[in-house]
Amino acid sequence: MRAVCLALLWLLFALPLGAEEVVLGLSQDQVSISTDFDGSEILIFGAIKRESPIPEGAPLEVVITLAGPLQPLTVWRKERRFGIWVNTQAVEVDAAPSFYAVATSGPWNDVITQVEDLRHHVSIERAIRSVGAPMQVQDSQAFSAAVVRIRENQDKYQMLEGAVEMSESTLFNTSVTMPANLVEGRYPMRIFLTRDGSVVSSFETKIDVRKVGLERWLYELSRGNPLAYGLLSLAIAIGAGWIASTAFRLLRER
């Protein structure tokens, strides 16, 4: 009991006077991927809890990130050789989020400094971890930039400046649209409160993305029994081909 009391006292004194904390709400904390899944919109709303009046000076800003499971990948550079495109150089990316969205309450350069971005890995570029590039690759950053560019075009990476609406420096809300081709797993969501570009408080929660129904059954079959999954895929392909051929033949006879 004494140890618990000491721990509570330590937390009390560790919390700055007038500290601002996030109280968060979500429209859903689980996304179910079924056969007709075409994406999902997550509504994010919250409030800022204070123990004292709103501090004077720079306004409070909100930065929200939502990240998919990290994946290693190899990025290749293609060059035209003898009339054909071939892979020439490669850089190993240690971990890149399968999905990443950043929503802010204002312009990016106004809500967070580069130092804080480097510390917390908030921006899309900072969320990608790349190992050392081979000596012959002179512009390794271009490979990470290529990953960002490609996934932005696929709506897998989203920079939503000014998408967080603030009310009376206390209430905030926004929405993030998740594409149909999501990777199954836990999606960490982080909320940063910043003032003068510095992080004054942060909060983290998670959203579960899971396959359900037929999608779940096929996923587990492919992992647990690859042979049966391959035979089933082959049977479906043969059956679909036979049905199409029969339908085409009947149409010609008419």
The pLDDT of residue 164 is: 92
Low-confidence ranges of the chain (pLDDT < 70): 1-18, 29, 33-37, 54, 57, 77-79, 82-83, 85-90, 130-140, 211-225, 228-229, 232, 253-254
Residues 205 and 127 reside in one and the same domain = yes
What CATH number is given to the structural domain containing 186?
2.60.40.3880
Q: How many residues does the chain have?
A: 254
The pLDDT of residue 4 is: 38
Structural domain harbouring 216: 212-254
Residue 82 counted as domain residue: yes
The pLDDT of residue 12 is: 39
Residue 219 and residue 209: Cα distance in Å, rounded?
14
Kind plus residue range of the DSSP H or E element containing 204: strand 198-211
Residues 169 and 49 reside in one and the same domain = yes
Residues 115 and 236 reside in one and the same domain = no
Residue 247 counted as domain residue: yes
The pLDDT of residue 67 is: 93
Q: Strands 129-130, 171-178: parallel, antiparallel or unpaired by DSSP?
A: unpaired
Residue 26 and residue 7: Cα distance in Å, rounded?
31
The pLDDT of residue 102 is: 95
Ramachandran region, residue 47 (left: φ > 0; alpha: ψ -120 to 50; beta: rest): beta
Tokens of 209: 């993305």
Residues 83 and 107 reside in one and the same domain = yes
Residues 41 and 91 reside in one and the same domain = yes
Residue 46 and residue 73: Cα distance in Å, rounded?
35
The pLDDT of residue 219 is: 58
Burial (Cβ within 10 Å: 0-12, 13-18, ≥19) of residue 62: buried
As for how many domains the chain has, the answer is 2
Residues 252 and 184 reside in one and the same domain = no
The pLDDT of residue 163 is: 93
The pLDDT of residue 49 is: 82
User: For the segment 42-85, what is each residue's pLDDT rounded down to a tens digit?
Assistant: 889 888 887 777 677 678 899 999 999 988 887 776 667 766 76
Residue corresponding to tokens 């499971």:
69
Residues 219 and 242 reside in one and the same domain = yes
Residue 92 counted as domain residue: yes
Residue 119 and residue 114: Cα distance in Å, rounded?
9
Residue of 63, 11, 67, 20 whose CA lies nearest to 205 = 67
Residues 216 and 248 reside in one and the same domain = yes
Residue 13 and residue 6: Cα distance in Å, rounded?
11
